[in-house]
Amino acid sequence: LEVLRLARADRARLVEDAREAAERALGADPSMGEAYAVLAALEGEFFGRWREREALIEKALAAEPNNPHLLFRHGQFLVSVGRVEDGYAQQARAFELDPLDPMLAAFHGYNVWSKRSKSEGRAILDEAAKRYPDNVFVWFMRQSVAALDGDFALAIKIRQDGERLVPS
């Protein structure tokens, strides 16, 4: 598995290119929520700036309030600043809007497992695994839950199955 390593100058250039592209997109269409989300992610390049990031994410959601990936990103942000319940609620809403997205199913299943119901969370993850047997997010969350549950036989089985997804 190759790892992409960028020199600091290359990374800075790519960040600036992404920022310029997002700003051009907003200049063409100020209702493009994804562009605000990109700007919010780029704010994360600098430690802190939480208010600025949240304001940009809120602009993204004001532009596209039912975009499941924007809701998911908002949820991730909320979890990262310690507002776990609110973050999980946003991710649950994202999953409700797009229950067939494997990444949303993986995170929602884990969230349900960790906060509400172990069996219900595992059921969500198992259903996602049947539907998307090659999805790395689903595989990882299922393995994590099995290990955290102390079901090491299942965790090992899931890990072995995952070697086809993530060699080495």
- Beta-carbon contacts of 43 under 8 Å, excluding residues fewer than 6 positions away, are 49, 52, 53, 56
Residues 105 and 126 sit within 8 Å (Cβ to Cβ): no
Please report the sign of the dihedral spanned by the C-alpha atoms of residue 22, residue 25, residue 30, residue 34.
negative
**Which letter, b or e, does each residue of 108-120 get, where b requires 16 or more Cβ atoms within 10 Å of its Cβ?**
bbbbbbeeeeeee
pLDDT digits (tens, 9 = 90+) for 131-168: 999 999 999 999 999 999 999 999 999 999 888 887 76
Per-residue pLDDT at 1 exceeds 50: no
Task: Compute the average pLDDT of residues 113-119.
Answer: 95
Q: What is the pTM of this model?
A: 0.80
| Residue listed under structure tokens 């290990």 | 147
Please tell me the distance from the alpha carbon of residue 14 to that of residue 6, in angstroms, as a whole number: 10
Residue 4's pLDDT is what?
53
Residue 167's pLDDT is what?
75
| Average model confidence (pLDDT) across the chain | 89
